[in-house]
Amino acid sequence: MAKRTLRTALSLATPMTIAVVGGLTLTAGPAAASSMACANSSDQSCAGQNPVNCANPGTVRPDGVWISDANNHDGTVWGLQIFAPDFSGNQTEVGWIQLRWSPTCKMNWARIIFSHAFHGELSAWNPTLPSQTTWIGYDGSGNHFTPTVNGIAQACVGMQVYLQGVWRQWDFGYCV
């Protein structure tokens, strides 16, 4: 049986079967970032990609220093620690929001590493351009990410934070 995969740059969802016709199964799933890289700071052809195939990723700290995952031998979590009020009004750690970058793809994306059971909408954007967002829920894995934005231009990260379906706050992460 032949199997073909239809892909979309807008979805980071798990592939799913959308049709079975005459023994041909069609599935839909995330588009992986191609081997192409952003060409310059105004190139938007690299926006909206799934960063899973971007080689040599790392985190850009709020001070602009890039730390390659391959060189992070002690497992330090880089990024910006964010907090949100729980239902008692106490500030509770949400987790770490990160601006990710790949020198191979020349693309940025946002990632959140959760500490507690918050969820929300994670965003990455180039100023003056549309955001790339993903709605995420705390599912135990702790890592969630957005589609890509241009990594040559300035890039920013932020998150709308929810707790049990109730909006708690907007956390502006940082721009580099």
Residues 119 and 172 in one domain: yes
Average pLDDT over residues 13-34: 38
The mean of the pLDDT values for the chain is: 77
Residue 158 belongs to domain spanning: 55-176
Residue 12 CA to residue 145 CA, distance in Å, equals: 9
152 assigned to some structural domain: yes
Q: Residues 3-28: what's their mean pLDDT?
A: 33
What total number of domains does the chain contain? Answer: 2
Q: How far apart are CA 96 and CA 92, in angstroms?
A: 12
Is 47 within a domain?
no
- Split at pLDDT 50, 70, 90, the class of 26 is very low
77 and 127 share one domain = yes
**Residue 88, pLDDT above cutoff 60:** yes
Report the CATH number that the domain containing residue 69 is assigned in CATH: 2.60.40
Between 60-74, 87-101, 140-154, the lowest mean confidence (pLDDT) is in 140-154
Q: What is the pTM of this model?
A: 0.75
